[in-house]
Amino acid sequence: MQNRIATFTTNKGVIKIELFEDTMPITTGNFIKLAEEKYFDGIKFHRVIDGFMIQSGDPLTKDDSKSAYWGTGGPGYAIPDEHVAGPLLTNTRGTISMANSGPNSGGSQFFINVNDNVFLDFNKEPFQSKHPVFGRVTLGMDVVDAISMAPRNGRDVPNEPIVITSITIGTN
């Protein structure tokens, strides 16, 4: 089976990500389901840190009056962690990972690594961070970098909204 591609259309450009369906079926299956339901349409990048990562997937970001709660929203359920060792399944530059607040708490929030952040891998010391990698950027890393460098406030929220218009799933 060929892994599918998630095409992110944002107000800053297009990002294409190969989803590791072959090794991360639970995490990619959840992401694909949400994308096909148009769950991500209109969601903002609510956390951007130059040299670290960009984060999105919180439905609360669709409502500016809830900005104090951005980063806490999700789909209303959690998926189990998938921890599979492999050369592509490490938090290196250009990979996408499931954001979570602890074991088995992933839902809809994700981040794209702007740098090598292997300390976030499940099998690296100190073992507190467990962020499963489920894909990698194949096109648009320049867009990811630009988003990470956006001016932001003290909570790492971009000063100007960076919005996901849509995420579509396809073969290229």
- What CA–CA distance (Å, rounded) separates 157 from 69? 12
Quote the domain boundaries for residue 16.
5-170
What pLDDT score does 122 carry? 63
Q: Is the pLDDT of residue 35 over 80?
A: yes
47 an active-site residue? yes
pLDDT tops 70 at residue 121: no
List the catalytic residue out of 47, 110, 122, 134.
47
| Closest by Cα among 28, 48, 51, 71 to 167 | 28
Q: Are 6 and 160 in contact (CB under 8 A)?
A: no
Report the pLDDT value the prediction gives residue 119, as an integer from 0 to 100: 63
Catalytic annotation present for 155:
no
For the question of residue 111 being annotated catalytic, the response is yes
Is 119 labeled as catalytic in the residue annotation?
Answer: no
Tokens of 138: 């194949």
Lowest mean pLDDT among 44-48, 96-100, 144-148: 96-100
- Where is average pLDDT lowest: 86-100, 117-131, 138-152? 117-131
Domain count, the chain: 1
Give the pLDDT score at 154. 94
Tokens of residue 26, six digits:
């639970």
Whether 120 is catalytic? yes
Reported in sequence order, the residue ranges of the chain that DSSP labels E, i.e. its strands, are: 5-10, 13-19, 47-49, 53-56, 95-98, 110-113, 133-139, 164-170
CATH of the domain at 87: 2.40.100.10
**Tens digit of each residue's pLDDT (9 = 90 or more) over 48-103:** 999 989 999 999 999 999 999 999 999 999 999 887 766 667 778 999 999 988 88
Residue 18: φ, ψ to 5°: -75, 125
Query: Is the model's pLDDT at 123 over the cut of 70?
Result: no
From 4, 30, 91, 100, active-site residue: 100
